[in-house]
């Protein structure tokens, strides 16, 4: 075998396979071509609540579609049951598509599900999707990094396992770093107070982006000290992403000319 060549390895097909697919942020045109091709030959599709109807409609019509979605404090199925369904269908010889919003390996429990799949000797394929942080920031015109104001970006979940709050704010104080919070809208007042108490500048620009990349996308701009009050008035709905850092200030620079934003800027007057 010549240098640089990859020898193909035949996959035993005594069982089916599991294909873990990132459905992206909801806009079907942001789905990868590879994801679409696999969705066209699925026997079973297990899909989450963040998978849009337009994306789900791109699956082959003959596939059995099973909703296994989870939202905060509202799970259609416990995670253990989802794992069992993946294994059961694959062991029955089916091509199983596990369709998850965003990217399955970024706060999507994709790794947990594949651990169970591999434990049963089932072969899998993982196909990435556009995670909410990239989709929301890009469509809104907020670069997550910029040489003048952010040399790094941190993705943070607002809640740890079993709903425990992620309140270690000492790792989120670097002014040259953009911080993106997943699943944090319901903890916004607590988080902003905690960040300021830990030492983050209260004037740090802050954005909430709801329904990223969809026609219903909305953007709320404020600062660390006033964004919670603005949200209390605006009531942007979930799913929503929170972005903190100086890059948010570029939103006003780009928004007038951002023809791909598909967003509505929410104006809020706080008394």
Summarize pLDDT for 121-151 with one digit per residue, the tens: 999 999 999 999 999 999 999 999 999 999 9
DSSP letter for each residue of 108-153: S-HHHHHHHHHHTT-EEEEE----HHHHHHHHHT--S-BTTTBSEE
136 with 121, same domain: the answer is no
118 with 194, same domain: the answer is no
Q: 97 falls in which pLDDT band (50, 70, 90)?
A: very high
> Rounded mean pLDDT of 22-30?
93
Q: 1 falls in which pLDDT band (50, 70, 90)?
A: very low
Residue 65 has pLDDT above 80, yes or no: yes
157 with 251, same domain: the answer is yes
- Per-residue pLDDT at 263: 59
User: Which of 127, 156, 185 is the C-terminal boundary of a domain?
Assistant: 127
39-53, 161-175, 202-216: the lowest-pLDDT one: 161-175
Domain for residue 86, yes or no?
Answer: yes
Distance CA 212, CA 265 (A): 13
Give me the chain's average pLDDT, please: 89
Domain for residue 7, yes or no?
Answer: no
Question: How many C-beta atoms surround the C-beta of residue 171 within 10 A?
Answer: 12
Q: pTM of the predicted model, to two decimals?
A: 0.88
Q: Give the domain CATH number at 98.
A: 3.40.1010.10
- For the chain, percent of residues with pLDDT exceeding 90: 77
Domain for residue 206, yes or no?
Answer: yes
SS3 17: strand
Q: Which of 138, 210, 200, 140 is nearest to 171 (CA)?
A: 200
Q: Which residues pair with 148 in a beta bridge?
A: none
More confident residue, 2 or 121: 121
User: Which of 98, 127, 156 is the C-terminal boundary of a domain?
Assistant: 127
Q: Which of 95, 88, 113, 100 is nearest to 21 (CA)?
A: 100
Distance CA 121, CA 123 (A): 7
249 with 164, same domain: the answer is yes
- Per-residue pLDDT at 2: 47
Residue 158 has pLDDT above 60, yes or no: yes
Torsion, Cα of 57, 59, 60, 65 (10° steps):
-90
65 with 154, same domain: the answer is no
Q: How many separate domains does the chain show?
A: 2
The predicted-structure confidence for 170-212, as pLDDT tens digits, reads as follows 999 999 999 999 999 999 999 999 999 999 999 999 999 999 9
Asked if 103 contacts 128 with a C-beta cutoff of 8 angstroms, the reply is yes
Q: Count Cα neighbours of 252 within 13 Å in the Cβ-side half-sphere.
A: 7
- Per-residue pLDDT at 94: 97
More confident residue, 76 or 222: 222
* Range of 115-124, 211-220, 259-268 with top mean pLDDT: 115-124
74 with 109, same domain: the answer is yes
SS3 68: coil
Catalytic residues: 48, 70
Distance CA 220, CA 208 (A): 5
Q: Which domain holds residue 170?
A: 132-265
148 with 210, same domain: the answer is yes
13-27, 89-103, 131-145, 152-166: the lowest-pLDDT one: 152-166
More confident residue, 132 or 12: 132
- Per-residue pLDDT at 6: 45
Q: How far is CA 212 from CA 62, 84, 140, in A?
A: 30, 31, 8
């Amino acid at each position: 075998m010549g240098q640089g060549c990859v020898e193909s390895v035949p996959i035993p097909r005594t069982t089916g396979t599991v294909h873990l697919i990132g459905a992206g942020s909801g806009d079907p045109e942001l789905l990868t071509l590879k994801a679409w091709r696999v969705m066209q030959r699925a026997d079973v599709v297990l899909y989450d609540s963040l998978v849009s109807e337009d994306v789900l409609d791109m699956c082959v019509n003959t596939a059995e579609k099973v909703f296994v979605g989870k939202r905060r404090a509202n799970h259609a199925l416990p995670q253990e049951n989802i794992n069992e369904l993946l294994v059961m269908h694959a062991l029955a010889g089916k091509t199983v598509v596990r369709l998850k919003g965003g990217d399955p390996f970024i706060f999507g429990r994709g790794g947990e599900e594949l651990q169970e799949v591999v434990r049963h000797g089932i072969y899998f394929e993982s196909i990435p999707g556009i995670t909410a942080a990239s989709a929301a920031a890009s469509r809104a015109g907020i670069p997550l990094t910029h040489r003048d104001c952010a040399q790094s970006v941190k993705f943070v979940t607002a809640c740890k396992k079993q709903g425990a709050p992620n309140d270690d704010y000492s790792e989120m104080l670097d002014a040259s770093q953009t911080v993106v919070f997943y699943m944090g809208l319901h903890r916004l007042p607590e988080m902003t107070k905690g960040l300021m108490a830990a030492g983050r500048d209260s004037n740090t620009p802050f954005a909430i982006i709801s329904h990223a990349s969809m026609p219903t996308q909305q953007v709320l701009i404020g600062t660390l000290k006033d964004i919670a009050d603005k949200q209390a008035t605006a009531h942007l709905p979930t799913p929503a992403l929170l972005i903190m850092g100086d890059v948010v200030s570029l939103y006003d620079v780009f928004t007038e000319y951002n023809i791909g934003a598909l967003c509505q800027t929410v104006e809020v007057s706080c008394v």
